[in-house]
Structure 1
Amino acid sequence: MDSPSQSGHPRSSSPPLDASPRSVSDTEPNVLGNVITRDLNRIQRTVAATANHLIAPLAEGAQASGHYQSAMGDLSKQLAKRPSLQKRMLSLNHRSPSELMRSRLSTSEIQHRALTHVPEEMLHNVPNYEHSYSLFQGFQATIPEESDGEGRKHRHRRRDGKHKSLEGGGGGPASLAAMDREKTALKRQLELLAIRKNMASSEIREIDQKISNLHQMRDIVFDRLAGLEQEEVEIEHEIISVENKMEDLEDELELAAIEENTRRGASTDDGSNADDTAADEGFMSESIYAKLPQKKVRKRNRRGRISTAVLHEHLEPGHKIREISAHEDTITALDFDVPFGTMVTASVDDSVRVWDLNSGRCYGSLEGHIASVRCLQVEDNLVATGSADASIRLWDLSKADAFKYSPPSTVVDDDAEIVENFKVQSMADCHVMTLGSHVDEVTALYFQGDTLVSGSADKTLRQWDLVKGRCVQTLDVLWAAAQSSMDEGKWRSPAIRAPGEGDFIGALQCFDAALACGTADGMVRLWDLRSGQVHRSLVGHTGAVTALQFDDVHLVTGSLDRSIRIWDLRTGTIYDAYGYENPVTSMQFDTRRIVSAAGVPVAKIYDKTDGRHWDCGAGATEDAINAAVVDRVRVKDGYLVEGRRDGMVGVWAC
C-alpha cells in the first residue's frame, strides 16, 4: 500500500508522542505576555535613550543612565514630601495618550492650566499686550542678513547695474526674472523693516506703561513718607511736652523740699528761742523772709526738631507746599529754624507771629514792641527781634504753653482762609530779656551762641553778651569809614533816608570774632571784633547793601543797585556777579542755590552747580496776575519760604 504521502492526500501534522497535549486557553496568555514584555522593554529602552540626550550633560554621555536614575530618585523624594503634587502626577496614569497629547499641544488649555494656579490679586494689574506680529516674525526680522551700510551699498550697486542693463538694451527673460527676484527681496526687506518698526513702537509703549506704573508707585510711597513724617512731628511734640512736664514736676519737688526744710528749721528756732523771737520780731522777720524759697529758673531745652525732614527733597523744584495768610500788610522780616519746623514772621501791622510750618497753624504772637519789627532771627527755640522802637527782644518759645503743650494738628489743605479761623494767643511768657542801648531803629542783627551783634540807624554796631544781658562793645561805622583810606570821599548816605533808599546798616553776619557788615554806601566791611577795627573793605556795589551771607570761601551780597555779587574771601575780589531789573531786597543761599527777592512776584533762584536762573513762586504759575511782590526770602536745604507785600507767606520746594 502506498503511504499517505504517496497517495496524494495531505499528511496531518500531529504532535510528538512524548509531548503533552495543550489547550488553546493555556497557550494564548503566554504568547500575549511575551509580546507585552517585549513592548515594555522596547519602551523602556526608548525612554532611557531619550533621557540620555535630554537630561545627561553632553560631556558625560557615558554616565547618562546613572544621571537619569539619580534625577528620578530625587524627583521621587520630592514627590513624597509633597502629597498634593504626587497626586497630580499619579493622575496622569488615568489619562489616555490622546488626552495627554492634546493638553500638551493646545495653547488655550496650557494657558488655562497655568493661570488657574495664580491668585486673582496678582492678575488684576497684568497688562494685555497685543502685537501685530508673532514672536517668530519679530525674531526673524531682527536677524540682519548683512550690515546696514553694506546692504545699502549692495542695493545701490544692484539698482545702478539694472539701470545700466536696461539702458544698454540687453533686457530679456533672464534679466526680467532677476529683477523680479530683486523686487521680491526688496519687498521682503520692507516687510521686515515694518515688523522691526512695530516692535520698536510696542517697546516704547511698554516703557511708557512701566514709567506710568513707576509714577503711581512713587506717589504711593511719597504719601507713605508724608504720613511717617507727620507721625514724627506728633511724637516730637509729645516728647517735648513730657520733658517740660518733667521739668516742672522736678521744680515743684525741689520747692516742696525747700519749704519742708525751711518749716523744720523755723519750728526748731521757735522752740529754742521763743522769748528772743518776741523781743526781736523785726530781726526774725528779716531772717524768715531771707529763707523764703525762691522759684528756680531752669534753662529750657532749646533744641529744634529731633528728626530731619526729607519730604521736600522728593518734590519737584517749584512745587508749592503751603500758602499761609500770615498778616494783613507787608512782611518786613521772617525766618525759620528747619524745614517743616517753626517760623516767625513780622509785618508792618506791628505784629510778630509764630507758626508751625508742618500744619500751617499759628502758635501765637510775640507782643512787647511798640513799633514794627524790622529784622529777626530764629535759632532752635530762641528768637531775636529788632524793632523800629530801637530795642531788641529775646524770646524763648519753649516757655510758651501754646508751644509746648499744643496738641498735634493734622495737615490741612493749602487754603489761605484756614489760618484766619485760629485764635492768635499771646506768648508773653516767652519773653527773656530786652536790650535797649540803641537810640534809633534796629535794622539788622545776628546772634550765635551767647553773642549777638546788632546794627542800627544810629550808625553803630553793638555786640551783646546774652548771658549778662548787656552791651560789651560799640563800633562806630562813620568813625571806621573816616579812618580808612579806601573810604575817603565815598560815603553818599544822606542824614535823612529818602524813600526807596536802603538802611544805613542793611545786613550783617558774624562768626566767632569775624563780622561782615553791609552799609548804605555800597561798602562791605569785614571787622575783627577782638580789636574793633575794620580788617578789609570790599568795593563794588553802587547802591545800598540789603543782604549778605558768607561761608568758608565766598561772601554773597545783594544790593539796591539790582545786582548780586559773589566775593572770594581769600583774595577780596569779585568771583561772580549777575543782575536783575529791580533792586534786591532780600537774599540767602544754601549749598546749591542762591535765592533772592528782586521786586517781582517770584523768588529769583540761581543754581550754582549748573549756572541756571529760574523763578519760583506764585508769580510763576497761572495766577501770576493776582500775586503780590515778594520782599523777603529764606531757604534751607531746598526748602524755600517767601513773604509778600500782601501779608501772604508761600512755602515751596526748590
Structure 2
Amino acid sequence: MDGSSAQAEPPHPPPTERRPAAGEPEPALGTAIGRDLTAFSRTVTATAGHLIGPFAEPGGGHANHYTVTMGDISKQLAKRPSIQKRMLSFNHRSPGELVRSKLSTAEIQHRALTHVPDEMLANIPPVEHAYSLFQGFQATVPDETFAATERGRTRHRRRSSGKHKALEGLNGSTPDGPPTLAQMGREKAALTRQLEMLGIRKHMSSAEIREIDMKIANLNRMRNIVFDRLAQLEQEESEIEHEIVAVENKIEELEDELALAGIGENNMHQTDPSSAEDTPGEDGSFMSESIYNKIPGKHPRKRKTNRKLSKPMLHEHLEPGAAIKDMQTHSDTITCLDFDVPFGTMVTAALDDTVGVWDLNSGKCLGMLEGHHASVRCLQVEDNIVATGSADASIKLWDLSKAESYRYQTTADDEEKGSKHIAPSMAECHILTLDSHIDEVTALYFQGDMLVSGSEDKTLRQWDLEKGRCVQTLDVLWAAAQSSMDEGKWRTPGGRTANGDFVGALQCFDAALACGTADGMVRLWDLRSGQVHRSLVGHTGPVTALQFDDVHLVTGSLDRSIRIWDLRTGTIFDAFGYDHPVTSMQFDARRIVSACGENVVKIYDKTDGRHWDCGAGLKDDNPMPASIIDRVRIKDGYLVEGRRDGMVGVWAC
C-alpha cells in the first residue's frame, strides 16, 4: 500500500464489519478488542507514509499531514474516551515537541550530573576479587545439612572408625548398619563444598579489611590536612592577639601623654610666679607634691602582655607522646624551667649562669634575664611575673610585660637581615629583689602577693610582695629537732646537704604550706601560727618535688619512688618506684610526669593506672643518644622537659 492509496482510503471501519442485531448476543470481549486493534493498525499503517514520506508542500506541509493523521487516529479511538482524550492533546503538538517531551528537565539534569567521562572510567582499578558476587552470596547462605552441632557430634566418630566403615561399605552393609561408600562420598563432597565456601568467606573478610585500611589511610591524610590548617589558624591567631596588645599599649601611652599635657597646662595657669617660694617643692618646681604623684610618668602604667585570649588546642589533637619541638636553650645542664600556657612563654635556667625567656610557639629566645651573680636554682612563671631563686641567696621578680615588644620585632629584623638571632637583655624587666636568705635559695612558690622560699640556710621565709619584705621566718632545723631528729644527718663535712638540697620542694595555698626536705620528711605548716601541723613519714631519701590538690599530695624523692598521700588521713594512697632517683615531678588533671635519671620522661596515667615513657630516648634512629632529663613540667597535656646538654623538648602528653 503506497502513500496515495492510503490517503484516499477513508479512515472508517471496513464495510465487512457487522454489528450485532437486536436480540443477538454481543460478541466476546476478545473478539471486539481484536477488531478494534485491527482497525487501529490499518490506520497507523496508512498514516505512516504521511509521517515518514517526502513532503511535497514546501514550508511545513508536514504539519498538515500530521494534523490529519492525528484526527484520523482520534476518530478510531472514539470507543476509548480516555485514550482519545490523551491523543487529542497530541493533535496540537509537532513531532519535535513529542520527542522532547519524553525527557523531563529533571531527568536531563540527572543524566548530566551523573555522566562519567571515559577518562575517569579508565582510571578505575581492575577488580582483584577472585570470586564473583554470586559466589560470595552463596558463601553467606547457611548450610542446614551440616550444622555446627552435627559437625561436633560426628567429627570424633569419623576420625576413630572412618577406615573401618569404609571397608564395611565395600563388603555391602545393611541400611541400619554403617554408612556405605556412596554415602561417604556424598559426605566428602558436602564437606569439600563447605570448605570452599569457608575459603570464599575468608577472602571476603580479607578484602573487607583491606578496604577498611584504605579508608583509614584516606582519613589519616584528611586529618593531616585539617591539622595543618588548625596549626596555621593558631599561628595567625597568636599574631593577631599580639597586634591587639600592641594597639592597646599605644592607646594607653597616648592617653598618658594627653593626661600629662593636661596636668601641665592646668598647673601653668594656676601657679602664681610671685608665690613660688610658698610651694611645697623644695626644688623650685611649679607642681605640688600631690599633683606630682598624679603624673602617669611617675607611676608608669603596667604594660599589657601578649596573653592568650583563646585556649590553644593544637596539642590536644596530637598522638600522646608526639614530639612538638626541640630547642637548644643553654650550653649546660638545665637546673629549672617553667612556662605559663601551652605554646606560650617559657623561662629556663642552667648551670651556665644564664636565664632565658623563650617563645614556645616560634621556638626563639625573647631575651635574657640578667642580674643574678650565680646560677638560678628554682623559678616560677605566673602570668607576666617570673620569680627566680639563685645560689647567690637572692630572689628576684621580673615583669615580662615590659619586654613584650622584643617578641615579634626582633624576630622580623633577624629574618630580614638573615643573621643569627641575638637575644636582648631584659634587665629592665626587674622589679624587685628579696635578699634576706644567707645561703642558696633552692625552692620557692608564690601566689598573689605572697611568696614562700626555702634555702640551704635551713629556713623557710614568707614574703609580702606588696611591701617587698620578709614577714615570717620558719626554722626547719628547729622543727626537726622537736621531732628528735639528729642534726648530723643533714650536713656533710663540706657544708652541703647529703645527696640533695635541704629544702627540695614546697608549695603553699593560703595559710597551708607543704615542704619536702632532705630527711625524707614532708611537713605541713600552718603559716598563721608558724607551726608544723602534720609530718608525713615514708620517704627514705631527700624529697625533690611535691605538688598537692584538694585531696592528694604527690611527692618525688631521691629514694627512686613517687608517693601519693591522702591529705584527709595523712596516709599513703599509692606509691610506685623507678630504677633511678626522681629529680623532678609534676601532675595535671590526668597524668603524673617525672624525670628519673633517664633520657625519657616517666608518665603515670591516673585514669587507667598505665605507665609509659615519652621522650627522645625512644627513637632508635638517633646517631647520638639523647641526654639525661632532669626537669619536667606539664600543663593541660603539654609537656616540657629539660636535659643535661641544655636541650628542651616539647611533647604532647
TM range (shorter): 0.7 to 0.9
Q: After TM superposition, give the deviation of residue 189 of structure 1 in Å.
A: 2.0
| Cα distance between partner residues in 1 of 2:194 and 2:239 | 67
User: Residue 478 of structure 1 aligns with which residue?
Assistant: 477
Q: After TM superposition, give the deviation of residue 89 of structure 1 in Å.
A: 6.4
TM-score, normalisation: structure 2: 0.77
Question: Which of the residues 217, 221, 226 maps onto 1:216?
Answer: 221
Q: Superposed, which structure 2 residues align to 1:359-378 within 5 Å?
A: 359-378=362-381
Question: Which of the residues 602, 607, 610 maps onto 1:609?
Answer: 607
Q: After TM superposition, give the deviation of residue 578 of structure 1 in Å.
A: 1.7
Q: After TM superposition, give the deviation of residue 233 of structure 1 in Å.
A: 1.2
CA contact (8 A) 2:631 2:642 kept: yes
Cα distance per residue 1:421-470 (max 9 Å; x no partner): 31110112211111111111111100111111111111111111111211
User: Residue 204 of structure 2 aligns with which residue?
Assistant: 199
User: Residue 134 of structure 1 aligns with which residue?
Assistant: 132
Q: After TM superposition, give the deviation of residue 482 of structure 1 in Å.
A: 2.3
Going from structure 1 to structure 2, the CA distance change for 1:607 and 1:30 (only over 3 Å counts) comes to same
User: Residue 186 of structure 1 aligns with which residue?
Assistant: 191
Give, as a single letter, the amino acid of the residue that structure 2 aligns with 1:585: T
User: Residue 620 of structure 1 aligns with which residue?
Assistant: 618
Q: After TM superposition, give the deviation of residue 194 of structure 1 in Å.
A: 2.0
Give, as a single letter, the amino acid of the residue that structure 1 aligns with 2:629: V
| Cα distance between partner residues in 2 of 1:499 and 1:493 | 6
Give, as a single letter, the amino acid of the residue that structure 1 aligns with 2:167: E
Query: Which sections of structure 2, spanning at least 5 residues, go unmatched?
Result: 15-33, 43-81, 90-96, 105-110
The aligned length equals 558
Q: Secondary structure at the match of 1:455?
A: strand
| Cα distance between partner residues in 1 of 2:410 and 2:423 | 15
Q: After TM superposition, give the deviation of residue 382 of structure 1 in Å.
A: 0.9
CA contact (8 A) 1:497 1:503 kept: no
Cα distance per residue 1:337-391 (max 9 Å; x no partner): 1111100001111111100101101100111111111100001111111111111
Give, as a single letter, the amino acid of the residue that structure 2 aligns with 1:298: R
User: Residue 577 of structure 2 aligns with which residue?
Assistant: 579
Give, as a single letter, the amino acid of the residue that structure 1 aligns with 2:37: V
Going from structure 1 to structure 2, the CA distance change for 1:119 and 1:567 (only over 3 Å counts) comes to farther
User: Residue 47 of structure 2 aligns with which residue?
Assistant: none
Q: Secondary structure at the match of 1:215?
A: helix
User: Residue 385 of structure 2 aligns with which residue?
Assistant: 382
| Cα distance between partner residues in 2 of 1:124 and 1:378 | 62
User: Do residues 241 (structure 1) and 264 (structure 2) align?
Assistant: no
CA contact (8 A) 1:241 1:404 kept: no
Q: Secondary structure at the match of 1:340?
A: coil
User: Residue 549 of structure 1 aligns with which residue?
Assistant: 547
Going from structure 1 to structure 2, the CA distance change for 1:488 and 1:420 (only over 3 Å counts) comes to farther
Q: After TM superposition, give the deviation of residue 611 of structure 1 in Å.
A: 2.3
Q: Superposed, which structure 2 residues align to 1:447-466 within 5 Å?
A: 447-466=446-465
Q: Secondary structure at the match of 2:102?
A: helix
Q: Secondary structure at the match of 1:461?
A: strand
| Cα distance between partner residues in 1 of 2:575 and 2:448 | 32
User: Do residues 422 (structure 1) and 424 (structure 2) align?
Assistant: no
Q: Secondary structure at the match of 1:421?
A: coil
Q: Superposed, which structure 2 residues align to 1:8-47 within 5 Å?
A: 26=9, 30=13, 34-35=36-37
| Cα distance between partner residues in 1 of 2:6 and 2:313 | 97
Cα distance per residue 1:384-431 (max 9 Å; x no partner): 111111111111111115346647879x9xxxxxx9931110112211
Q: Secondary structure at the match of 1:166?
A: helix
Going from structure 1 to structure 2, the CA distance change for 1:24 and 1:593 (only over 3 Å counts) comes to closer
Q: Superposed, which structure 2 residues align to 1:77-92 within 5 Å?
A: 90=102
User: Residue 49 of structure 1 aligns with which residue?
Assistant: none
Q: Secondary structure at the match of 2:633?
A: strand
Give, as a single letter, the amino acid of the residue that structure 2 aligns with 1:492: K
Q: After TM superposition, give the deviation of residue 517 of structure 1 in Å.
A: 0.5
Q: Superposed, which structure 2 residues align to 1:99-118 within 5 Å?
A: 117-118=115-116
| Cα distance between partner residues in 2 of 1:90 and 1:390 | 97
Q: After TM superposition, give the deviation of residue 141 of structure 1 in Å.
A: 1.4
Deviates most, 194-203 or 443-452:
194-203
| Cα distance between partner residues in 2 of 1:449 and 1:259 | 36
Q: After TM superposition, give the deviation of residue 614 of structure 1 in Å.
A: 2.1
TM-score, normalisation: structure 1: 0.77
CA contact (8 A) 2:305 2:404 kept: no
Q: Superposed, which structure 2 residues align to 1:74-473 within 5 Å?
A: 90=102, 117-118=115-116, 129-146=127-144, 148-153=147-152, 156=155, 159=158, 163=163, 165-168=165-168, 171=171, 175-266=180-271, 269-270=272-273, 273=274, 285=284, 288=287, 290=289, 293=295, 294-301=297-304, 304-403=307-406, 406=409, 421-473=420-472
Going from structure 1 to structure 2, the CA distance change for 1:279 and 1:571 (only over 3 Å counts) comes to closer
CA contact (8 A) 1:453 1:510 kept: yes
Give, as a single letter, the amino acid of the residue that structure 2 aligns with 1:450: D
Q: Secondary structure at the match of 1:168?
A: helix
Give, as a single letter, the amino acid of the residue that structure 2 aligns with 1:328: S
| Cα distance between partner residues in 2 of 1:510 and 1:363 | 30
Q: Secondary structure at the match of 1:634?
A: strand
Going from structure 1 to structure 2, the CA distance change for 1:467 and 1:278 (only over 3 Å counts) comes to closer
User: Residue 67 of structure 2 aligns with which residue?
Assistant: none
User: Residue 93 of structure 2 aligns with which residue?
Assistant: none
Give, as a single letter, the amino acid of the residue that structure 1 aligns with 2:490: S
User: Residue 636 of structure 1 aligns with which residue?
Assistant: 635
CA contact (8 A) 1:234 1:408 kept: no
Q: After TM superposition, give the deviation of residue 229 of structure 1 in Å.
A: 1.4
| Cα distance between partner residues in 2 of 1:114 and 1:384 | 70
Q: After TM superposition, give the deviation of residue 27 of structure 1 in Å.
A: 7.2
Cα distance per residue 1:307-355 (max 9 Å; x no partner): 1111112212221111111011111110001111100001111111100
Query: Which sections of structure 1, spanning at least 5 residues, go unmatched?
Result: 1-21, 41-68, 77-84, 93-112, 413-418
CA contact (8 A) 1:493 1:504 kept: yes
Q: After TM superposition, give the deviation of residue 263 of structure 1 in Å.
A: 1.8
Going from structure 1 to structure 2, the CA distance change for 1:118 and 1:395 (only over 3 Å counts) comes to farther
Give, as a single letter, the amino acid of the residue that structure 1 aligns with 2:499: E
Q: After TM superposition, give the deviation of residue 613 of structure 1 in Å.
A: 2.1
Cα distance per residue 1:625-649 (max 9 Å; x no partner): 4311111111112211111111111
Cα distance per residue 1:507-559 (max 9 Å; x no partner): 10000110000111111110001111100011111111111111111111111
Q: After TM superposition, give the deviation of residue 156 of structure 1 in Å.
A: 3.6
User: Residue 519 of structure 2 aligns with which residue?
Assistant: 521
| Cα distance between partner residues in 2 of 1:446 and 1:284 | 44
Give, as a single letter, the amino acid of the residue that structure 2 aligns with 1:340: F
Give, as a single letter, the amino acid of the residue that structure 1 aligns with 2:168: G
Going from structure 1 to structure 2, the CA distance change for 1:207 and 1:401 (only over 3 Å counts) comes to closer
